[in-house]
Amino acid sequence: MNYGPSVLSRLKRIEGQVRGVEKMIEQGRDCTEVVQQLKALQAATNATTQVVIKQYLAICIKDLEGSGNPNHVEMARLFSLIEYQEE
C-alpha cells in the first residue's frame, strides 16, 4: 500500500514531538508540561491513524466495487480497525 507523503510527513513530525518529550523528561520539566505534550502526541498519532484508515477504506471500497463480491474477512478487519480507533 502506498501511504503517500502526507503520512510520512505526519510521522516525522510525531518523531520530533517524541524527541521533544524525551528532552523535557531528561531536563526534569514540570509534569503538566510533559503531559500536555504527551496529549498533543496522542492527538497527532490518532489523526495519523485516521488518515491511514481512510486511505485503506478507500482502496478496499474501490476493490469491492470492481469485484462486485464483498470480502467478508476484509470487511471484518476494517470494522475492527475502526472500533479500535474509537476506544
| Domains by residue range for the chain, with CATH | 4-86 (1.20.58.1000)
**pLDDT of 2 higher than 70:** yes
What is the reported pTM? Answer: 0.73
**pLDDT of 52 higher than 80:** yes
Exposed/middle/buried for 62, CB within 10 Å: 0-12, 13-18, 19+?
A: exposed
31-41 residue pLDDT tens: 999 999 999 99
Residues 8-44, buried b or exposed e (16+ Cβ, 10 A)?
eebeeebeebeeebeebeeeeeeeeebeebeeebeeb
Higher pLDDT, 32 or 61: 32
